[in-house]
Amino acid sequence: MMKDFPSCFGENAVQVADASCSGATRTAQNMVTCIYHCKLLGQSCLITITWSKNLMGQCLSVEIDDSSNQWSGKFDIKPWLFSKRKGSKGLEVNASKIEIYWDFSSAKFGSGPEPLEEFYLAVVFNGEMVFLVGDLRKEAFKKTNAIPVDSNAIFLSKREHVFGKRVYGTRAQFCDNGQIHDLTIECDAIGVKDPSLVICIDSKAVMQVKQLRWKFRGNYTILIDGLPVEVFWDVYNWLFGTAVGNAVFMFQTCLSAEKLWTSQTFSDPFLSPWSCSKKGFRASKLQGVGFSLILYAWKNE
């Protein structure tokens, strides 16, 4: 059943501006941001990994901050034209040393900035592997000499910029150890009298929105891997905004997603919804919040 979309966005509030690797430019980029929750230094923390790509190559940013906002640490790998694709870095956080190890020397990439395989990114604290992503797990443990521990990392959110003229695609995993699905969004809004929106999972249409000019914001529940997934969309800029405007989509595995969005105020048109949502996670201590996939869809003219 279709429900009204939470009116948390102003007409211009869906404009997104993620910074470049230097943090100086407000412009759309080929960028993917992943947020994880784990235990570190005896308390809850968020690990934010941002993969981006520019003319000089791939960039990586790793930020670690605790849930009480008492300490934080950040590490950047500049475009690979100027930096090593394999190495380690120590961060001094709250009088403790956290080691970050990475190996992208053989990494394979698709069209986006995020590596698909043949890589690892690891965080080691007190000789224990507290966080690890990538498929080169054996190589990561061999390099770090870290002690394997039960991973408590929870994948909270993936935020991604996608580009296209009519079809926008990505891949997503909506539950731990679940299937990786191909997700496509199709919308032809240029020169069409009655534009519609179609969302497909693994080439199968799971929802369609007709009369899009009247339903440019909304939400709908679909099933993926037997899980209810709430889909939110805001395509106002595609239909009524500027030529360079973007649409926003969120796929949320938790039915409390509406509370998450409506509890935030997006007064800054350059403020990303997920920036505010991180504060919401801290305030709620992560209770009742599932995985979110947030897509900013930009039209290529």
- Report the range of poorest mean pLDDT among 110-114, 150-154, 182-186, 246-250: 150-154
Average pLDDT, the chain: 75
Please state, in angstroms and rounded to a whole number, the distance separating the CA atoms of residues 300 and 287: 38
Q: Please, are residues 155 and 201 in contact by the beta-carbon 8 Å criterion?
A: no
Distances, alpha carbon 155 to alpha carbons 92, 132, 159, 300, in Å: 24, 12, 12, 30
Q: Where are the domains of the chain?
A: 30-154, 157-299
Taking only the tens place, the pLDDT of each residue in 218-264 is: 999 999 888 899 999 999 988 887 666 789 999 998 644 444 444 33
Q: Which of 33, 295, 35, 264 is nearest to 156 (CA)?
A: 35
Q: Of the candidates 134, 122, 154, 159, which has an alpha carbon nearest to the alpha carbon of residue 33? A: 159
Q: What is the pTM of this model?
A: 0.75
Reported in sequence order, the residue ranges of 188-216 that DSSP labels E, i.e. its strands, are: 197-201, 204-209
| Residue predicted with more confidence, 82 or 162 | 162
**pLDDT value of residue 265:** 34
Looking at residue 241, the DSSP 8-state letter turns out to be S
pLDDT category at 56 given cuts 50, 70, 90 is: confident
